[in-house]
Amino acid sequence: MANVMRLTTPLMRQTVGFDRFNDLFETLLSDTTEGFDSYPPYNIEKVAEDKYRIVMAVAGFNMEDLNIMVQDGELTVSGKIEDKDKSEKDVEILHRGIGNRAFERTFRLADYIQVTQADLKDGLLTISLYREIPEEKKPRMIEIKGETKLIGNKKKN
C-alpha cells in the first residue's frame, strides 16, 4: 500500500474531486512532461461530501497580482508581482525568506466540479469548489416487479 501511495501522491496533489483511480493512473503514466514544483505551497481539502477547497499560501501577493482561470476542466492559478515602487527598490534585502517569484499552478478538475468563489485573506488564497452531479447521472434504485405463485398456502420463489 505504501508503494501505491508513493506512486499516486504527486498526482493526487493536482486533482480535485476524482473518485476513479483508473483515470488517475492513466494520467500519471501518460503525463511525464509536467514537473511537480512545490511553490507556492497549498492544501486540497474536502470540506463536505461534495465541497472542496484549495488553500494556497501566497504571501506578498495581492489581488491584482493573481489570476484564476477555469477552462476545459482545468483550474489554473497564476501569480506575478509587478515591479515594486521605487522606494522599495532602494532597500537592501539582507535575507529573502518570503517567496515572491512568479508561478502557475494547474489543477485537473473531475466531472461536474464547479469553482464557486475565491478569497484572499492573510496571505492565503482560498478557492471553493462544489461537485454538482446532474439528476440523470445520479444512481437510482429500480423497483423489481413480478408475480409470486402460491402452491397450496406457501409462496414459491
Domain range annotation of the chain: 2-85+98-134
CATH code given to domain 2-85+98-134: 2.60.40.790
Query: Quick one: which H or E segment has residue 51?
Result: strand 51-57
- Say whether pLDDT at 8 is over 80: no
What is the pTM (predicted TM-score) of this model? 0.64
ω into 40 cis (within 30 of 0) = yes
- The whole-number average pLDDT for the span 145-156 is 70
Tell how many helices (H) and how many strands (E) occur in the chain.
3, 10
- Say whether pLDDT at 33 is over 50: no
* Three-state DSSP class for residue 86: helix
Tens of pLDDT, residue by residue over 82-140, are 766 544 667 888 887 777 789 999 999 988 899 999 999 999 999 999 998 888 888 88
